[in-house]
């Protein structure tokens, strides 16, 4: 085997653990639930085997974003004629994997409610993260607001 072929085989072997692996669950003779990446002893006849994928980081980002959403919920305020800026703001939040609600300001009552709540005229799109608001689409400011609240960007 050449050095190059040996290196290729070594790299392939190193990549194999990244594929799906098995996880086992069974109840031992003392009635305790056991988990392992190794099959149970042969004396155990009933067990569960599951194929698991290695964590790619997406699950951690999603968890951290749900955690941030509990303390700092995100609302995107849009207008019925907002067009591209609102579409771009919505796309930014979706690309980052941010859970958010969207409110469209259409009526005079909704404008008055916005003014009462935030003390300012609605200028859409507006991003509200917790109690902080950023009016108008300024991507850098929106990212900073989300980062400060603990939201993680998708990699």
pLDDT in tens, 66-108: 777 788 899 999 998 999 999 999 999 999 888 899 999 999 9
Percent of the chain clearing pLDDT 90 (strictly above): 44
Residues 85, 143 within the same domain: yes
Range of the domain at 79: 58-148
* Residue 3 domain flag: no
Same domain, 48 and 97: no
Q: Quick one: pLDDT at residue 33?
A: 84
Question: How many domains would you assign to the chain?
Answer: 2
State the pLDDT at residue 94: 93
Does residue 94 lie within any of the structural domains?
A: yes
Q: Give the Cα separation of 57 and 44 in Å (integer).
A: 34
Looking at the fold, whether 70 and 119 belong to one and the same domain comes out as yes
Residues 71 and 112 in one domain: yes
Residue 75 domain-assigned (yes or no): yes
Q: Rounded to two decimals, what is the model's pTM? A: 0.60
Domain membership of residue 7 (yes or no) is: no
Q: Are residues 153 and 96 in contact, defined by beta-carbon separation less than 8 angstroms?
A: yes
Q: Domain check: are 131 and 64 in the same one?
A: yes
Mean pLDDT of 147-153: 88
Q: Is residue 34 part of a domain?
A: yes
- What are the φ/ψ torsions at residue 82 (nearest 5 degrees)? -70, -40
Tokens found for residue 92: 């930014």
Domain check: are 40 and 67 in the same one? no
The contacts of residue 31 (CB under 8 Å, 6+ apart) are none
Quick count: other Cβ atoms within 10 Å of Cβ 105?
18
| Assigned domain for 13 exists | no
Q: Is the domain of 50 the same as that of 69?
A: no
């Amino acid at each position: 085997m050449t050095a190059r072929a040996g290196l290729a085989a070594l790299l392939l072997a190193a990549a194999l653990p990244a594929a799906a692996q098995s996880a086992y669950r069974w109840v031992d003779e003392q009635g305790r639930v056991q988990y392992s990446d190794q099959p149970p002893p042969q004396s155990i006849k009933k067990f569960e085997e599951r194929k698991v994928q290695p964590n790619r980081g997406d699950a951690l980002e999603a968890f951290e974003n749900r955690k941030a959403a509990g303390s700092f919920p995100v609302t995107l305020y849009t207008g019925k004629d907002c067009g591209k800026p609102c579409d771009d703001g919505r796309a930014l939040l979706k690309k980052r994997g941010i859970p958010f609600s969207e409110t469209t300001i259409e009526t005079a009552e909704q404008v008055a409610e916005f003014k009462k709540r935030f003390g300012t005229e609605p200028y859409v799109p507006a991003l509200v993260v917790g109690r902080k608001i950023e009016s108008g689409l300024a991507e850098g400011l929106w990212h900073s607001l989300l980062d400060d609240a603990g939201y993680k960007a998708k990699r």
